Structure 1
C-alpha cells in the first residue's frame, strides 16, 4: 500500500549519507534494500528507486554501468532481507514447517553482511575515484521530512512487534498492519488517504495477489510433474552423483542449477522450483533443511543479476544508459559477498547464529564483518591505495577465512590483513601519499 510520495521519504531520510563520499550510491543501497524487502520484485524495485538514485550516482561521477549495477544488486538483495524478504520467507516457513520468525532471525546476519559488502565496494570506488557527495545545500532537511512523514515508519515497527514479540500468525499480523497503516496515514493531511486511494490500494493488492497466485499455481504444476515423473528426484540424484562425496562440488553444482532455474523468474516461483529440485541434493548430504533452502533461495534470486539473463541489471541499464551485460558483470562483483556467504553458512551454521551463545555470536558478527570488508577491498583492488592482483587475491582469501567461523581461520585472515596493511603503510611512507583521483 503506497501512501503519498513514497520516494520522498527514501530520498530524505538518508540525506545525510549523500554528503559522504559516494553518498548517493550508499543511499541507493539502503533505500533499495528496504523497499526490495517489501516489494519482492527486483525489477520493480530497480525501476522505482533507480529513477532518482541512478541519475544522482552519475551526477557525482560514478560510471553509468557501475551506477546501474549498484541499483540492481541492492534491489536483488532486498529479497533476502528480513523482516519481509519479498514474501518468499513466508512460503519457506510453510514449506519447512517452522515459524516464520525463525527464518527471519537466521537470515538477518547474512543479509546485512551482503549489504555491507556492497557499501564497502561503493565507498572504496568513491575514495579511489575521489567522488564527493551531494552538497548540503542541495539536500532536504531530515528533521523536516521526519516531522512531515516520519509517522509512516510506525506501521513497519508495528509489523515487527506483531511478528517477533507478540508472536501472532503472519496473516493476522499483516491484516492488522494494513489497518494500522490506514489509521497512521490519517494523522497528517499530506498522507491521508481518501476513499478513491483506498480503493486503488485494494485494487493494486488484488492485482498483485492474482499475479502471485498464478505464479504459484503454475509452479504447482511444475512441482507436481517433477514429482510424478521423478524429474526432481533425478536432478537431485544427478547433482549428488556428479559431486560425488564432495560437499563443495555438490554446492557448486547446486549453485549453477539454481541460477539456471531462477533465470527470468520472480523470487517466489524461483524459490519454489529451486527448493523442490535442488535443495534435496544438499539435504541428502546432511545439510540442515532450513540451511539448504536458504542456500538455494540465495542463488535462485541472484539469477536476476547473473548474465546472460540478468533482468534486474537490464532494467537498471535502461535507466543508466549503460551496457546491460557490463552492468550485469559489475553487479556480480558488487554481490561477491552474497556468492561466498551461502557456502560459508552451509559449512558452519554459526554464521546463521544457530545454536550460538551471545559471546560466540558477537565474535561471529565481528569477524564476518571484517571478512566482508576484505572481500570488498579485494573486488575494488583498493585499500590505502591501488592493490595489485597478488595482494587482491590474498585479501580475498583473508576475507573468506574471516567469514568461515573458527579460531584458526580467523588467525589466518588476521595475519593476511596485517601483512597487507603493513606492506601498504611501508610503501605509502616510501612513495608518499598517492593521488587517489588517478588510481583506477
Structure 2
C-alpha cells in the first residue's frame, strides 16, 4: 500500500476523522442488526454502497493523486472526485430499493451512475496500490466487452457496454458482491479489534513476551522475529507492512548477534508472510474462503492450523540450527524484559484472544460478532487494568484509525469483485476450468503446477485477497473437477497466492526486509525460499491427504501430524547441514529423501513413518557419538 498520506488540519481533518470513524461504526450497526430493531430494513447492497462510498471519499481525501501533489489540503480535482463518488454511491445507497425491482432494464441514470462509480473505484485503487490492480480490472472489463471478437476457448457472447457497466456496479455478484461484503463486515470487525488491542498496549505486551520467552535461547532475536511476526502478521493482513513494523526491531538485533544480513532479512520476511495463513485471524482471506465454501469460519481456521504450525516449526528449526552452525549466542540477558513482568503484561491480551476464540468456536457465533465481542472485552479489561487504561479521546479516535486501516482492503475487494463479475458475465470461469482440465489431460499434478504458477504470477503486485478471489474462480473449479476436495482446492490457491510475497522476481516482503537489513535482495530471496520450503511443499501434500487439514478420522489426523513433524525435522537438518555438528553431504541427502518420504508416504503408512523416525533418531545418535569422539580426540 502506498504510504504517502496527506496531513490535513482544521475542519477538513475533523471531517476526515468523522468519516473514518463511520466505517467501523456502520459495520457494527449492520453486523449487530441494530437497524431492524428500529423498524428500518435495508438491502445488503445499500450498506455495501454506503460503506464503499465512505472508503472512496476517504481515499481521495487522504491519498494524493501523484507524487508532488498537495499534501496539506484536498485540491479542487479531488473535491470533484469526492462529489462524483457521493453522487454515484449515494444514488445506490438511498435508492437501491427502487432499483432492485427493475435491475434488468437499461436506463440512462443507471448507466451514468455505474460508469462514474467504476471510474472512481479504479482511480482509488490506483492511488492505494498502483497500476497493477487497475490494469487487472481494466483487463477484465475489456475481455468482457471485446471477448466476442475472439475465438476458441476465450470467445464470449456479445455483451452491450451499458449492460456490462450496470451488471458490475449495481449487480449483487460484482463490486457489491461477496468480497466487499466480507471486507465490510468481518474484516472491519477484526481490524477494529486489532486497533483497540494495540491502543491499550497489546502490541508492546506481545513484543515483550516474545523477547522474554525466546531471547535467552541461542539465536534469540531470530526466534523473537518468528514468534512476534507470526502474531502481528495474522492481525495486520499485510506481509510487507508486518515486515516494516516488526523488522525495524528484529532485523538489526539478528545482525548484531551474528546472523548474516541476508539471513536476517529472509527470516523476518518469511515469518511475517506466514502470519497471513496463521489461525485464528488469517488476515482477511480465511473469512472469504468461509463465505465461498458456505462453511463456518471455525472450519477454515481448524483446517489451516496444521499446515501453519508445520510451517513455523520448519522456520524455527532452521533458525535454531543456523544459530548452532554459526555459533550464534543468545541475547544479553540484562537487556531482556523480565519473564514474570512480561507474562503479567500479556495476560490481559490473552484474555481478549480467549474471548474471541470462545465466542467464535465455543458459542459458534459469526466471525464479526466474535471480533466485536473481543473488542468490547478488550475495552472493559483496559478500564480495569490501570496500565492499559486510556483517555476517552483515545478510545474514540481509535475508531478513525480502524476506519483508515480498512480502506485499502475494502477497495481491493471491490476491484476483485469487479473481476469476479466480469468472469461470471462471460462464463470464463467455467469454460477455462474445463479447458485447463483438457490441457492437463486430467492429470492432477500438471493441473496443480498450472494453478501454483498462476497464483504466484498473478499475485506479484496484487494483494493476496484479490489473488485468492480471482484464482479460486478461474482455477478452483478445475481442481475440484479432477477430484480435489473443495476445501483443499481453496486452501491450495490461498497458499500459493500468499507465497507471491516471497517468490522472485517481485517478492515484496523480501525487498522490504532486504532494505531494512541493507542486504542483497536476490540473495535474501534465496534464503527466504529455503526457510519457507514447507509452504511450497505442504499444499501439494494436503491436496492428496486432507488429514493435514483436519479432515477425516482422529487417527488419520494424528498420523499426519506425527509424519509432518518428523518430515520437518529431517528437511530442516538437510537444508541447514547442521544438527549437533556439521552433517556430511551424503547424510544431508539421506535426510532430504527421508523427510520427503515422511510427508508423502509416512502420513498414510505407519511402517514408512516408523522408518523415517528411526532415520531421524539414528542421525542424531551418529552426530552425538561423533561429537563425543571428536572432543576426546
TM range (shorter): over 0.9
Give the drift of 1:261. Answer: 1.4
Contact 2:567 2:596 in 1 (8 A): yes
User: Which residue, 387, 390, 409 being the options, matches 1:190?
Assistant: 387
Q: What's the counterpart of residue 240 of structure 2?
A: 43
Change (3 A) 1:4 1:420: same
C-alpha separation in 1, matches of 2:509 and 2:527? 12
Tell me the secondary structure at the aligned position of residue 132 of structure 1: coil
Q: 1:155 aligns with which of 336, 341, 352?
A: 352
Distance 2:619 2:293 in 1: 44
2:573 to 377, 384, 403: 377
- Secondary structure at 1:251's aligned position in 2? helix
Aligned partner of 2:468 in structure 1 is 271
Q: Is the 8 A contact 1:350 1:364 kept in 2?
A: yes
Alignment match, 1:401: 597
- In the comparison of the two structures, how many residue pairs are matched? 433
Q: 1:235 to 1:325 in 2, by over 3 A?
A: farther
CA deviation map 1:112-138 (0-9, x unaligned): 000000001001100001101112111
Aligned CA distance change for structure 1 residues 386 and 208 (closer, same or farther; 3 Å): same
Query: Which residues of 2 match residues 8-407 of structure 1 at below 5 A?
Result: 8-14=204-210, 15-148=212-345, 150-357=347-554, 359-404=555-600, 405-407=603-605
Counterparts of 2:295 and 2:418, CA distance in 1: 24
Q: Distance in 1 between matches of 2:626 and 2:348?
A: 52
Structure 2 residue matching 1:190: 3-state secondary structure: helix
Distance 2:632 2:307 in 1: 35
Question: How many angstroms does 1:147 deviate by?
Answer: 2.9
Distance 1:244 1:409 in 2: 31
Moved more, 26-35 or 14-23: 14-23
For residue 29 of structure 1, give the secondary structure of its aligned residue in structure 2: helix
Is 1:417 aligned with 2:417? no
SS in 2 for 1:351: helix
Shift of residue 190, structure 1, vs aligned partner: 3.0
The 1:146–1:421 alpha-carbon spacing in structure 2 relative to 1, beyond 3 Å, is closer
Q: Do the aligned partners of 1:371 and 1:399 also contact (CA within 8 Å) in 2?
A: yes
Instruction: Report the Cα distance in structure 1 between the residues aligned to 2:346 and 2:543, rounded to whole angstroms.
Output: 42
CA distance in 2, matches of 1:241, 1:413: 38
When residues 4 and 51 of structure 1 are mapped into structure 2, their CA distance, relative to the original with a 3 A threshold, is farther
- Mapped partners of 1:291, 1:434: distance in 2: 53
Cα distance change on mapping 1:417 and 1:245 into 2, 3 Å: farther
Asked if structure 1 preserves the Cα contact closer than 8 Å seen for 2:202 and 2:346, the reply is no
Using the TM superposition, give the Cα deviation of residue 412 of structure 1 relative to its aligned residue in structure 2, in angstroms: 4.6
Residues in 2 aligned to 1:371 and 1:20: alpha-carbon distance in whole angstroms? 24
| C-alpha distance in structure 1 between counterparts of 2:306 and 2:471, whole Å | 22
For each residue in 1:326-379, what CA deviation from the matched residue of structure 2 results, as whole angstroms up to 9, or x when unmatched?
Answer: 22221111011111111111111112221112x443332222111111111121
- Per the TM alignment, residue 232 of structure 1 is displaced from its structure 2 partner at its CA by 3.3
Instruction: Check conservation: 2:598, 2:608, Cα contact below 8 A.
Output: yes
- Is the CA contact (8 Å cut-off) linking 1:262 and 1:274 kept in structure 2? no
SS at 2:387's partner residue? coil
C-alpha contact (below 8 Å) 1:304/1:312 kept by paired residues: yes
Query: Hey, which bits of structure 1, 4+ residues long, moved more than 6 A?
Result: none
Q: Displacement, 1:4?
A: 4.2
Are the structure 2 counterparts of residues 372 and 239 from structure 1 closer, same or farther at C-alpha, using a change threshold of 3 Å?
Answer: farther
Partner SS for 2:416: helix
In the other structure, the counterpart of 2:169 is none
In 2: Cα distance, 1:392 partner to 1:251 partner: 28
2 CA distance for matches of 1:249 and 1:397? Answer: 22
2:209–2:346 contact (8 Å) kept in structure 1 = no
Structure-2 separation of matches of 1:369 and 1:434: 33
Per-residue CA deviation, residues 282-339 of structure 1 (Å, 9 max, x unaligned), is 1111111111000110010010011111001111112111122222221111011111
TM-score of the pair, normalised by structure 1: 0.92
Which protein has greater RCO, CA pairs closer than 8 Å, 6+ apart?
A: 1
> Which shifted more, 316-325 or 220-229?
220-229
Q: Deviations over 1:388-426 (max 9, x none)?
A: 444323212211221231114424534543564565466
- The Cα shift of 1:234 comes to 4.7
Residue 66 of structure 1 aligns to a residue whose secondary structure is helix
**Tell me, which stretches of 5 or more residues in structure 2 are unaligned?**
1-194
Normalising to structure 2: TM-score of the pair?
0.65
In structure 2, relative to structure 1, the CA distance for the partners of 1:325 and 1:239 (3 Å cut) is farther
The verdict on how the C-alpha distance between 1:244 and 1:409 changes in structure 2, with shifts beyond 3 A counting, is farther
CA contact (8 A) 1:259 1:303 kept: yes
